[in-house]
């Protein structure tokens, strides 16, 4: 059901959309070649999902790379799992693997660039998709499985908490659990693992204001976490992540104020 934007991987309710609002705004982009669409059947024909260990968790990502290229994370939760962020491709092999691990109790997504085929996943595993209400306008396939939450935090039980940081998107969300922070690219893991970064737009290199980054760091300050998981394969900081985030926010604000390292 519904076409999929090739650039961001988000599935639409419509079989004939004329544009992708998620790509057609400053945080994303429409390629110079123009808007292109695919279907889940076409994606299944040419791609498959890889499953591999990511730190203490299990990652699921599509190969060859599709759209933005993020991988999802399977987070043990009670007698099942949470799926953190989402990917577009869902096939029988992936579903069987997840079901053998206990299935999904919920899907939680950091921001609209990773909404992908979230409704397909929700229907397959009969679970809700948890999105912050501040990003409601970016849902391209509305569905009863989508649960919008409000405020600054949502307690998921079992020691897991969704925290709204904002920044990249108004409803930008991270997941805190068991001394881990799963951040998508709301907090961006960069090649220098001694720091992280924050941006309004990554492809278009638009920074965030100092006040926003200061607020994000303040909201994370009370949470204890040693490791941080970014959005792509291998983007894991294994130790001292809390201090790294706070140090990075200070460096970012200094740079915006002309105090370059």
From the list 53, 62, 102, the residue with the least C-alpha distance to 82 is: 102
Q: pLDDT tens for residues 144-179?
A: 999 999 999 999 999 999 999 999 999 999 999 999
- Going along the chain from its start, the domains and CATH numbers come out as 4-256 (3.60.15.10)
- Alpha carbon distance 16, 22 (integer Å): 16
Helix (H, G, I), strand (E, B) or coil at 106: strand
How many other C-beta atoms lie within 10 A of the C-beta of residue 83? 27
Mean pLDDT of 6-32: 96
pLDDT tier, 212 (very low <50, low <70, confident <90, very high otherwise): very high
CA distances from 222 to 176, 218, 219 (A): 11, 8, 7
From the list 180, 183, 159, the residue with the least C-alpha distance to 239 is: 180
Q: pLDDT tens for residues 219-245?
A: 999 999 999 999 999 999 999 999 999
Helix (H, G, I), strand (E, B) or coil at 62: strand
3-state helix, strand, coil in the chain (%, to 5): 25, 25, 50
Q: CA angle at residue 213 from 259 to 257, to 5 degrees? A: 20
Q: Is the pTM of this model over 0.85?
A: yes
Q: What is the pLDDT of residue 192?
A: 95
- pLDDT of 74 strictly over 80: yes
Q: What is the pLDDT of residue 260?
A: 83
- Alpha carbon distance 88, 76 (integer Å): 21
Mean pLDDT of 12-39: 96
- pLDDT of 102 strictly over 90: yes
Mean pLDDT of 48-77: 98
- pLDDT of 1 strictly over 90: no
Q: pLDDT tens for residues 122-151?
A: 999 999 999 999 999 999 999 999 999 999
- pLDDT of 52 strictly over 90: yes
Q: Per the structure block, which two tokens stand in for 24?
A: 């057609």
- Alpha carbon distance 158, 163 (integer Å): 15
């Amino acid at each position: 059901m519904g076409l999929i934007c090739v650039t961001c991987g988000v599935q639409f309710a419509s079989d004939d959309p004329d544009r992708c609002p998620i790509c057609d705004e400053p945080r994303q982009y429409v390629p110079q070649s123009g808007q292109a669409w695919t279907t889940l059947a076409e994606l299944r024909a040419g791609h498959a999902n890889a499953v591999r260990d990511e730190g203490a968790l299990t990652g699921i990502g599509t190969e060859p790379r599709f759209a933005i290229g993020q991988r999802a994370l399977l987070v043990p939760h009670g007698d099942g799992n949470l799926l953190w962020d989402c990917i577009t491709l869902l096939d029988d092999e992936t579903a069987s693997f997840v079901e053998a691990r206990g299935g999904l109790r919920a899907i939680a997504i950091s921001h609209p660039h990773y909404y992908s085929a979230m409704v397909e996943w929700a229907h397959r595993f009969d679970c809700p998709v948890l999105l912050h209400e501040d990003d409601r306008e970016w849902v391209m396939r509305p569905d009863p499985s989508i649960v919008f939450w409000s405020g600054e935090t949502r307690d998921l039980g079992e020691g897991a908490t969704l925290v709204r940081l904002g920044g990249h998107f108004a409803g930008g969300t991270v997941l805190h659990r068991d001394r881990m922070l799963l951040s998508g690219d709301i907090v961006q893991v960069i090649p220098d693992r001694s720091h992280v970064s924050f941006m309004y737009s990554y492809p278009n290199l638009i920074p965030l204001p100092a006040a926003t980054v200061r607020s994000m760091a303040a909201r994370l300050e009370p949470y204890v976490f040693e490791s941080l998981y970014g959005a792509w394969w291998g983007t894991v900081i294994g130790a001292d992540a809390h201090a790294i985030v706070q140090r990075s926010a200070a460096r970012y604000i200094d740079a915006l104020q002309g105090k370059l390292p």
